[in-house]
Structure 1
Amino acid sequence: MDPALLIFLVCTLLGAFVGLFAGLLGIGGGLIIVPSLLYLLTDYIHLPLKIAMPMAIATSLSTIVLTAISSSRAHYKLGNLRQFYLLWTGLGISVGAIIGPQFATVISAQSLKTLFAILVLVIAAQMVFLGNKNAKRDVTKQLLLLIGVITGCISSVMGIGGGAIMVPALLWCRVDVRAAIGCAAFSGLVIALFGSASFIVAGWNNEHLPQWSVGFIYLPATLGIVLTSVFTANIGAKLSRSLDTKLLKKIFAGFLVIVSLRMLLG
């Protein structure tokens, strides 16, 4: 079987799994997509790590665009998008999401893989131990801008939507939880658009990329994931009303620890 077709078919299953967890737990699928694609690209297309790692991250970002648009529209209808927060975090995110991919393509592939694994461990720890606790700090334009730059840079390097970073940071600034989630949803769209574009530019003249690539984005994987994740995300959202999501988050955090250690040791 053609490797591109095989990856497309596997990614339809991956997308179903990712969408379900994204809807169920409110987390981005990049934490699952990136290590999965790294395995597929190295084992089935036999890409070297220096190509496969940024390609896995770029492809993950490209899959976020449609889901982020849908999520942003829903939060707009609910009145959760606040102009003040969106403006200043958005400016910071656009800068960070451009810087991140350029950084990801110049450092060594092994360093990038290690960095990703460490950041996954940090997010897993945040999910289990920190929760959504507020702190006594007032929000300012400068602070929102800084949060945006950090979120955009880290998220574009990891290939995630940024909600795992943005929501706790905004809650720490005493932002209303609904506004924080709405801002994170919109931020995911900004990160996906700017990050994907930056990865396309970074890989545009790279002659070592496989067929069906647009810059560092691998289209068969993007299409496969998007086709199924859009539907299963709705199923996950409905299931979240009846299941103990706190317990599920702890289980998922444990899964992330295993993935991270596998990347560090593998």
Structure 2
Amino acid sequence: MLKSYAAQVKKELLIQSALIALDALLCAAFYALIANAVGNYLFSFDYVKLCYLLSIALAVVAARFIIKTLLCALKSKLHYRIEEAVRRDLIVRIFNENPLSVQLKSSLNTSVINAVSDIVPYFTGYLLSLRAAIIIPAILWGAILSVSPVSAGILLIITPLIPLFMIFIGKGTQKLNDRQWAQISRLNQRFQEAVSQINVLKLFNLEKKEVKNIKFMTRRWRLETLNILKVAFLSALALEFFCTVGIAFCAIT
């Protein structure tokens, strides 16, 4: 069922990609209209031209609203069809198997339920988001290139730095997080040993010292966890920084 439906899925994804591209073109046109309207208001103030530009901008907004509505409808339709195909494949496979087969495990009901939630978002979410992440920046960059090649060149240089630095920050955060997991495991083991050997600690009058050591390890773990969160938030700071720098350079040019 899924194999027979694969061609139709590709067709619907192509239609959605075309709508995304059209929405990106309308988005670029909207920005151009607003920029011309602001320029006309600040420098020439041609009332007729200003109303004309704003009316076209409103028409573009209405067209984008219609496109967004169509995309939501197509996405819901695709979600329903893929879910139906997955469930049919699973049911046919179950009925084709011997009821005493070892492949029919006791957790089959859970697998049937989770299969849809695991498979469907790949087609309705990931693939569509991936296409949008490729199509929209390319079209907007082409629109900027037609207006200001210098600004387009600046964005072409700065834009790849955003995911690059976010990857570096993410890898550094992951290493720190792995180290914290190891530290909390040691803290957990130390606490369990202290609880299991509480009689020995009382016998040698070491319970206060052990409590002090556990408090020190807990406080150290808490502070290092906050430091990891600080590093993690640098990813958002890097995104804001490079976006601000790119906009500033474009404004200067």
- Above 0.5 in TM-score? no
Q: Which has the larger radius of gyration?
A: 2
Give the number of the structure whose residues are more often helix, by fraction: 2
